[in-house]
Amino acid sequence: MRFERIGREPDYSRYMDLKEGWLDRRIFSDADIYEEELYRIFARSWLFVAHESQIPKAGDFLTTHMGEDAVIVARQADGSIRVMLNSCPHRGNKVCFADAGNTRRFVCNYHGWAFDTAGDLKGMHEEYCYDNGDIDFKNHGLKNVAKVSSYKGLVFATFNGDAPSLEAWLGDFRWYLDMILDNEEGGTEFIGGCIKSVMSANWKFGVENFIGDAYHAGWTHDSGCRSMNDGMPFPPIDMEYSYHASVNGHGWEFGTEGVGDLVLLGRPKVMDYYNKIRPKMAERLGEMRSKIFGSVASASIFPNVSFLPGISTFRQWQPKGPMQFELKTWVIVNKNMPDDIKEEVTKGVMQTFGPGGTFEMDDGENWENCTTVNRGVVTRHERLHYRCGIGRQIEHDTLPGIVYRGQYNDANQRGFYQRWLDMMTHDEFGKMPTRPEPRLGNVAETRDLPGLFAL
Amino acid sequence: MLDRPLSPPPVEVIVAVTQALHCEARLLDNEDFDGWLAMLNEDICYRMELKSRRFRADRSPPLPVGPGVIFNEDLGRLKLRVDRLKSGFVWAEDPPNFIRRAISNVEVVARPAENEVRVHSVLIMHRNRIDGTTRVLTAARTDLWRGEGQAWLLAGRDIVLDHSVLPDSNLNAFF
Ligand code: FES
Ligand SMILES: [Fe+2]
């Protein structure tokens, strides 16, 4: 399915030169470019919509957005998950105003059209007013998205019937994702609720911060780090054994020291827990990944999900116009953790990366002001510098993806904007380049891959 | 909430506790954080939750750790936050934000222990940030105040923000 937009078709490649390492500021505030992002990126990508644990039982639902389109995500009686537009086919009213819950029916407030949790129209108030032939119930349900799929607990949906499989979309990035989703038997769950806040910033600033910007931490979060660590600033980064890895616009930046993010979380019991399971983790995921987990690290899944493995904050940047996004944050834990460790993780996340967290508080205003100050008609034509570490690409025997040496780098950010450009300029998914060529192939289960550990 | 015993606490207590609330707000507005810490009891529990929107007839069980805990702090953690604010490295607060707190709807309720009262109040926080934008937050607070010697000290505070979506990028302030 294609959603066409009538209007100008500019050449987006003039907004960046990633070989040189610069971006045009207009991609962070221009209304036309933003509209085009909604069509070309959000209406065509696989988008995160839920963690399976948020809707465990039949009738459980939550409401969220795919781009600016409001959707309902609902668990069916057969255990499957449906994702449908949260908009009534009668006059378009929003059908469900609750954030989450459990229900048998969604009933529209306007004229009482009633839908089951699959979105099928089941009846309405004063049904007799429709004569035979006036309405075909089958074609007037809540519009379901084209595809729903999940990867180790994360549920994704897409409006794009031509989208590749979710496995192919995530590609080799699954090798990295498994470090947070599959580091222990039983997988993960979201715990507690969702915290939402709104920021006057372009959504891409949040994504690019988490995809690769380890560089900002030591300066932006100086006060937070010192208050958490007896006045000590961030320790220096090991530029030799830390990396950026980019796959199809997804990205993970990380060290290999194994403890940095766990220290920042500030909950010693959680550190002990992971140290205890680390040998098992090494059996499960291999030596390399068991060393990466817990290190200073951050990651984003293209286009708009981010998380801190080890610190356990999981988030989504929902676009709300060129200069605004809604940030949704959750806490992700291993399902098999004892309850007191889950509680410790939750406390740690709120104290560091909740909206009142000692680190989180420093970030938002930077992104807001990176966005709003670019309104100036002269300012907006100036370029931004994205060249850090541009010559440090390496081939690595173990690490998949486009790998750069040194955690302080703009490499993953460049990879993200490369994918952005690929999607903005390619009409057909099939013609879009895969960056880099995958090592894993498109199999569904990464853990059972023959030879995975030898990669 | 059936939190209204037949006889209210003595008028001196009501006056003293109400004055303490106003004093607390003034200290925070003036960034006198040490003065504020001195008004807190050793075993203070300071919590804030964000509400989520649910249908009135929702059948699903409550979430295990609450819908969205933003603060869950003891005195040590509050001191740590104050240290951070005083560190000189909080770039987003330099130049300072202008924050003004208005406290209202104060209701002082007697407790079985004579030296304790439950206090309901409403907070309106007006925050003018360094980039010139203004945000207004409102919250309901349920406190436990304890008379210790000559002073009333804050021993517990439950803050419920009246927002399902936080209208600001951070909560860089005490409530
Ligand atoms: S708009 Fe939904 S029933 Fe009329
Ligand atoms: Fe940050």
Q: What would the pLDDT profile of A261-281 be if each residue is shown by its tens digit?
A: 999 998 999 999 999 999 999
Average pLDDT over every residue of A205-216: 98
Least confident window among A18-22, A170-174, A413-417, B92-96: B92-96
Average pLDDT over every residue of A172-190: 95
Average pLDDT over every residue of A199-206: 97
Ligand number, closest to the Cα atom of A127:
1
A79 C-alpha vs ligand 1 centroid, how far in Å? 28
Q: B70-104: per-residue pLDDT in tens?
A: 898 999 999 999 999 998 888 888 899 999 999 99
Residues of A in contact with B66 (CB under 8 A): 192-193
Q: What's the pTM?
A: 0.94
Q: Is B55 on the interface with A (CB under 8 A)?
A: yes
Residue A383 has which token pair?
Answer: 């370029």
Kind and range of the H or E element at B139?
strand B134-148
A24 is catalytic: no
pLDDT of A455 reads 32
Question: How far A97 CA sits from the closest chain B CA (Å)?
Answer: 8
- Give A448's pLDDT tier (boundaries 50, 70, 90): very low
Ligand number, closest to the Cα atom of A216:
2
- Give A452's pLDDT tier (boundaries 50, 70, 90): very low
pLDDT of A450 reads 38
A110 lines ligand 1 (CB under 6 A): yes
**SS3 per residue for chain A:** CCCCCCCCCCCHHHHEECCCCEEEHHHHCCHHHHHHHHHHHHCCCCEEEEEHHHCCCCCEEEEEEECCEEEEEEECCCCCEEEEECCCCCCCCCCCCCCEEECCEEECCCCCCEEECCCCEEECCCHHHCCCCCCCHHHCCCCECCEEEEECCEEEEECCCCCCCHHHHHCCHHHHHHHHHCCCCCCEEEEEEEEEEEECCCHHHHHHHHHHEHHHHHHHCHHHHHHHCCCCCCCCCCCCCCEEEEECCEEEEECCCCCHHHHHHCCHHHHHHHHHHHHHHHHHHCHHHHHHCCCCEEEEECCCEEEECCCCEEEEEEECCCCCEEEEEEEEEECCCCHHHHHHHHHHHHHHHCCCCCCHHHCHHHHHHHHHHHHCCCHHHCEEECCCCCCCEECCCCCCCEEEECCECCHHHHHHHHHHHHHHHCCCHHHCCCCCCCCCCCCCCCCCCCCHHHC
Residues of B in contact with A375 (CB under 8 A): none
A107 lines ligand 1 (CB under 6 A): no
A234 C-alpha vs ligand 2 centroid, how far in Å? 13
A363 is catalytic: yes
pLDDT of B64 reads 63
Q: Using CB atoms, which residue from B83, B169, B171 is nearest to A227? A: B83
pLDDT of B59 reads 75
Residues 148-167 of B with CB under 8 A from A: 164-167
- Judge whether residue A50 has pLDDT over 90: yes
Residue B8: strand, helix, or coil: coil
pLDDT of A16 reads 97
Which of A93, A95, A137 for a ligand 1 pocket mutation test, highest count of atoms within 8 Å of Cβ?
A93
- Judge whether residue A22 has pLDDT over 90: yes
Percent of chain A scoring above 90 in pLDDT = 84
A51 is catalytic: no
Which residues are bridge partners to A448 per DSSP? none
Average pLDDT over every residue of A84-99: 97
pLDDT of B69 reads 82
Average pLDDT over every residue of A17-31: 96
Percent of chain B scoring above 70 in pLDDT = 93
Closest-lying ligand 1 atom to the alpha carbon of residue A112: 3
pLDDT of A447 reads 52
pLDDT of A415 reads 98
pLDDT of A445 reads 54
- Judge whether residue B21 has pLDDT over 60: yes
Average pLDDT over every residue of A43-72: 97
Residues of B in contact with A342 (CB under 8 A): 65
- Judge whether residue B4 has pLDDT over 60: no
Average pLDDT over every residue of A190-207: 94
Contact B52 A356 (CB under 8 A): no
Average pLDDT over every residue of A226-233: 84
pLDDT of B67 reads 62
Average pLDDT over every residue of A384-391: 98
- Judge whether residue A441 has pLDDT over 70: no
Kind and range of the H or E element at B22?
helix B11-29
Ligand 1, atom 1: closest residue by C-alpha: A91
pLDDT of A133 reads 94
Q: Average per-residue pLDDT in chain A?
A: 92
**More confidently predicted of B153 and B1:** B153
- Give A106's pLDDT tier (boundaries 50, 70, 90): very high
Rounded CA separation A276/A296 (Å): 19
Question: How far B3 CA sits from the closest chain A CA (Å)?
Answer: 28
Q: B105-154: per-residue pLDDT in tens?
A: 999 999 999 899 999 999 999 999 888 889 999 999 999 999 988 899 99
- Give A356's pLDDT tier (boundaries 50, 70, 90): confident
- Judge whether residue A192 has pLDDT over 90: no
